[in-house]
Amino acid sequence: MKKIILTGGGTAGHVYPALALIDGLRDYEIYYFGSGGMEKEILKNYPTITYHEIPTVKLERKLTIKNLFIPFKLLSSIKQTKKEMEKVDANIVFSKGGFVSVPVVISAHKLKIPVISHESDLSFGLANKIILKYCDVMCTTFDETAKNKKCIHTGQPIREKILHGKKLDIKSDKPCLLVLGGSSGAKFLNDLVYDNIEDLTKDFYILHIYGKSGKKMEHSNYFGVPFTDHIEDFYASSDVVLSRAGSGVINELKVLNLPMLLTPLSKKISRGDQIENAKYFEKKGFGVCLEEENACYEKIKENLLKLIKNSQKNSKNSKKIENIKANSMILDLIKKYEK
């Protein structure tokens, strides 16, 4: 049987798009190369995939002496990863980017294993800038990103199951607001909910996925969890979404045509990729962008109410689901390039 290595990690946004492909990989033995972080926990729910934990190296986005040791740590990581990959002897690698993917892709290049990679954001992250040199094809979510001759615009891989969510048992006739802060949570969004719960629940029932940075709270018009493997049910239960602007989540919301208010991660703690994603989505009419520095509670609530009102006006079109083309395009590329 043919073998494929999937890789990517650091956040759920690097993991789930890769896992979106597994229904089309039934003719392959599937291996996942990742760190000891979030991806390892997620992959515990996929017993048919063999997990390999590898040493990884992450660049700190601040001046620190730790960054001076990155080249040496990366060389060591590549050496160990290459040994593990030789044991697997895969036909192809699919990389979802992120710092976890770098030693895997470089090792694959050394072993002459073809690599298909994917960039979710409007602009390349540091890892995929490196990976572009070593991969055979770089798929992109956004057409504007596919400028290099190696790049092909495919769109974002989407998990099929998000189209088949079941509504949660919510005993409320208020519109349902889903608040998402990404896999690690978002303190800004969490605090906004906690500090304004009484006022927010006058107009909304709140579903809240608060991540590592949040806390459980009790309220008759509120239900919160740190993480869920059944995001499709939360989507199916929601009328409007307040979210960060990671590409994976916002493309899932777009496919479901859910109204979204995006408060992207600030440039103070990121490279600005979420701001680019959110502004692009706003320009295309897929959502509304409100940067954190300008996102006071009053503006956020005003925009959420507008989104609800507009979605009710356009309710005839609210359940349209676009065809997910990215999965089949990427699977075709995998079959084309496998050795």
Model-level pTM?
0.89
What tokens appear for 167 in the block?
């509504």
CATH number of 2-158+324-337: 3.40.50.2000
**Can you tell me the distance from the alpha carbon of 200 to that of 235, in angstroms, rounded to the nearest whole number?**
19
Burial group, residue 147, by CB count within 10 angstroms (0-12, 13-18, 19+)? exposed
Q: Where are the domains of the chain?
A: 2-158+324-337, 162-317
The yes/no answer on whether domain 162-317 falls in CATH 2.60.40.10 is: no
**pLDDT of the chain, 339 residues: tens digit per residue:** 999 999 998 788 889 999 999 999 999 999 999 999 889 999 999 999 999 999 987 755 555 666 556 777 889 999 999 999 999 999 999 999 989 999 999 999 999 999 999 999 999 998 999 999 999 999 999 999 999 999 999 999 999 999 999 999 999 999 999 999 876 678 999 999 999 999 999 999 999 999 988 988 999 999 999 999 899 999 999 999 999 999 999 999 999 999 999 999 888 778 899 999 999 999 999 999 999 888 999 999 999 999 999 887 665 444 444 557 899 999 999 999 999
H or E segment to which residue 176 belongs: strand 176-180
